[in-house]
Structure 1
Amino acid sequence: MTTDSAFNSVPDAKAVVDRAYEASVVLAKTKGDDRARALEAMADALREASDDILEANTLDLEASREMAVPELILEWLKLTPERIGSTIAILEKLAQLPDPLRQVMNATYQVGRSQSYSQLMPLGTIALVYEAFPDFGAIAAGLCVKTGNTLILRGGTEASHSNAAIAQALQRGIEQSNLPLGTIELFPPDVGVSTRDLIRQDKYINLVIPYGRPSLVQQVVRQATAPVLKSAMGNCYLYWSPTGSMDLARATIVDSHASEPDPVNAIEKVLVNAKAKPSSLSLLWNSLKEKGFTLKGDRELADQFPELEAVEDDAEWNRAYLTKTVAFKTVEDLDAAIAWIDQHSSGHADCIVTESYQESCQFAVGIHSASIYINTSPRFHRAPPQGDAVFLGMSNQKGHRRGSIGLETLTTTKHVIQGWGEF
């Protein structure tokens, strides 16, 4: 049975995608004020449903523990009043932001004697495939409504009750604000159609965003026929230059792991110069252990410093731990560090600690990652304390949708050429 026929054989599944697609046509024409009011209604609905959401989350946590779900997923799954409150605040913040759609921008080129301009427009229908993180679906819904896109949520079985409770609350807010039915749809994991079938509906779905462990992201990338926006998490690198402050290196590592609940930009690998003083390394490692970090090292460092666990194999330098684990490796110089990072990091956020302006410039030019951090923490904020931005996550793919996933990421450009009958 082909993917399309497998999908169409489940009436409820086909209805979900049909409603979302039809709603996207209507939603794209709505006014910014109407979408802002919908976001406020969604925030209010989440606030009113907070007790029900927490009760549903308790059921998910109990079931997951019985099924021996990894502790990492349990941590991502667990909701608190504070996490729900942060999600509500993000929706309210989005409601206050200017409408990102249909703003007139200069065109990159002109056509003959005509006048040209560009506008940001919605993508259409977006599918979010995610594991745990039930509040993540609500944040994605907020970003999609703000940008005039419809959203299909496909969460994992471990969060089925939580996702349902959140989706129902969001849908009540949508209904109260008179946006089209289908603006937010939930695709339960037990609906009878696989994720693979959903992400191959490229006729109706304009973008798929996978979010979770790297294995989930890679699976979606391999199977989807609809366009995919790769998200990345963990396995960020730091190069600690001999000129850099040890205190700053330590503070940068610690702060990068402070993003909750998901360590999006956590520094998990540190390259140290072969000239680094053993006393400085020991001081750094002792201070990190006091903060609860597990420390690993390459064979050379592990043999020299018994407090380090040996990295098991070369593939480990490519993998995200997604825990408070940091592995250290020696390199000869900055050139070697840049070459290693470009080959092994996740490619979305890499750092350097240095007091050399020349080194910082060389690092910024040589590293191919989406974001470069010089003498500062890459810690990720969904709603940064400064500014008006709201971010869903980080993308490590090359192309125009790279780096922080925000409002503009979920839009596309329309080029309008106005003529007067002259050629």
Structure 2
Amino acid sequence: MEVDDQSPVIEPLAAVCRAYQASSQLLTIEGVQRSRGIAAMAQALQDNFNVILEANTLDLEASREMAIPSVLLEWLRLTPERLQSTIQILRRLGQLPDPIHQAMTTKHQVREAQSYKQLVPLGTIALIYEALPDIASITAGLCLKTGNSLVLRGGSEANNSNQAIASALQTGLEKASLPIDTVQILPAAQGSSIRELVTQERYLSLVIPYGRPSFVQQVMQQSTAPVLTTAIGNCYLYWSVKGNLDLVRWMIMDSHSSEPDAVNAIEKVLITTHHKPSALTLLWNNLKDKGFEVRGDADLVAQFPEQLKPVADIEWSQPYLKKVVAFKVVDDLPGAIAWINRYSSCHADAIATDSYAESREFNLKVDSASIYINTSPRFYRAVEHSPSVFLGMSNRKGVRRGLIGVDSLTTTKEVIQGKG
């Protein structure tokens, strides 16, 4: 399944306008029908299962010849298990209650009138993403659940996969008698410009970039529409001397278990001089046995030259996005907090300690979207026995920081109703 080079080029403005018009239609469509649309999109993915995997195989073969980074290859690889998981996530989304138009009381009341707030859609959302073809389906489901339209702009490395998935999603919309323009795709192979898309602030309510930090930063700098940034990697763990070794080992390893993108993987560990060398060596050997590369700051490398590889200064503020963990010595908990606030990605940071006072201080003073105390920060798109579905994690203040889910794609409308 290859992209037809003779197909008409889709201009960003035209795609955004069609999606914008579809978002207006969605305002009057009941939640039950939108839920049916999500179920129909899931079924369309199921019906086109092999077609999508074949398209992904073409992308993988082409990408190997292009020598794209290994992390993108891993994100690009769409296994049957990943695709089936995506279908299950969509089906779960379709079963959730309708979040739109829920009424909420307000403290402020106007005299001789009643005031209340309603959750309403944002409007038109653009997802700009690297590899990760399955992320388009999850975003489409979240958008339809919240009454938003979606414009997709994936990377050229996943062009065939993205086209096959978008086609299936639109088929599902059509079968559910919903506006097919609810999901638009701008093929990267046709040379559609990201800048042209993200500067359509008249029609776009939100831009969500998803990929490596440099990619997210590039989109954010170009966009004139509001941006909900996603964050991946460079999460810190402070291992207190009062923390359990077995717990720390599990927290690190489990945090790297999310597939295909280990969003909240612990890549940096802060320790103090009070840790026993035997405990450190045991942890490092355990990590190496599981395929991790272990690095350390200058002091640790000097003390354990055969165990650790040196860390360059720039690495403390950058994610590895692979199974690498770097260790650094700090003076104490306040030193760890100051270091994390300066160098982490500020979306998910953790502490391992048996001290309530330490965990409380860490929670109060670390300026991150999510704090994990004595538990793995592993990211789940859909948690078992929980109705929630999440696209990713945001570290951006001023928008919706934290987990990106249904709530992140809505806003509020205040209604003041008088007696005439």
TM-score, length basis structure 2: 0.96
TM superposition shift of 1:334 = 0.4
Q: Report SS of the residue matched to 2:22.
A: helix
Matched with 1:6 is none
1:303 aligns with 2:294: no
TM superposition shift of 1:106 = 1.0
1:235 aligns with 2:238: no
Query: Which of 150-159 and 391-400 deviates more?
Result: 391-400
Q: Report SS of the residue matched to 1:166.
A: helix
In structure 1, give the amino acid aligned to 2:146. Answer: T
Aligned-partner Cα distance in 1 for 2:419–2:259: 55
Aligned-partner Cα distance in 1 for 2:357–2:10: 62
In structure 1, give the amino acid aligned to 2:186. Answer: F
In structure 2, give the amino acid aligned to 1:260. Answer: E
Matched with 2:248 is 249
8 Å CA contact retained: 1:206, 1:226: yes
1:359 aligns with 2:366: no
Query: Which of 261-270 and 186-195 deviates more?
Result: 186-195
8 Å CA contact retained: 1:19, 1:181: no
- 1:202-351 matches, within 5 Å, as 202-306=201-305, 307-312=307-312, 314-351=313-350
Matched with 2:6 is none
Query: Which of 184-193 and 285-294 deviates more?
Result: 184-193
In structure 2, give the amino acid aligned to 1:276. Answer: H
CA deviations on 1:360-388 (whole Å, 9 max, x unpaired) are 10000011100000000000000011310
In structure 2, give the amino acid aligned to 1:416. Answer: V
Matched with 1:409 is 408
Unaligned runs of 5+ in 2: 1-8
TM superposition shift of 1:420 = 1.7
Query: Which of 140-149 and 13-22 deviates more?
Result: 13-22
8 Å CA contact retained: 1:231, 1:396: yes
Matched with 1:147 is 146
Aligned-partner Cα distance in 2 for 1:110–1:375: 43
In structure 1, give the amino acid aligned to 2:220. Answer: V
Aligned-partner Cα distance in 1 for 2:43–2:10: 32
Aligned-partner Cα distance in 2 for 1:156–1:219: 14
TM superposition shift of 1:128 = 0.2
Residues 339/287 of structure 1: CA separation in 2 closer, same or farther (3 Å cut): same
Task: Tell me the percent identity.
Answer: 60
Aligned-partner Cα distance in 1 for 2:333–2:281: 22
Give the alignment's Cα RMSD to 1 decimal.
1.0
Matched with 1:3 is none
In structure 2, give the amino acid aligned to 1:377. Answer: S
CA deviations on 1:233-283 (whole Å, 9 max, x unpaired) are 000000000000011001000000000000100000000012111111111
8 Å CA contact retained: 1:268, 1:327: yes
8 Å CA contact retained: 2:351, 2:359: yes
Aligned-partner Cα distance in 2 for 1:113–1:216: 52
8 Å CA contact retained: 2:105, 2:115: yes
TM superposition shift of 1:114 = 1.5
TM superposition shift of 1:207 = 0.2
TM superposition shift of 1:310 = 0.4
Residues 108/408 of structure 1: CA separation in 2 closer, same or farther (3 Å cut): farther
In structure 2, give the amino acid aligned to 1:240. Answer: W
TM superposition shift of 1:325 = 0.4
In structure 2, give the amino acid aligned to 1:311. Answer: V
CA deviations on 1:212-248 (whole Å, 9 max, x unpaired) are 0001100011110000000000000000000000110
**Number of aligned residues:** 411
CA deviations on 1:293-347 (whole Å, 9 max, x unpaired) are 00110000011112111002x2210000000000000011000000100111000
Unaligned runs of 5+ in 1: 1-9
In structure 2, give the amino acid aligned to 1:244. Answer: G
TM superposition shift of 1:399 = 2.7
Aligned-partner Cα distance in 1 for 2:232–2:96: 27
TM superposition shift of 1:400 = 4.6
Matched with 2:78 is 79
Aligned-partner Cα distance in 1 for 2:415–2:40: 34
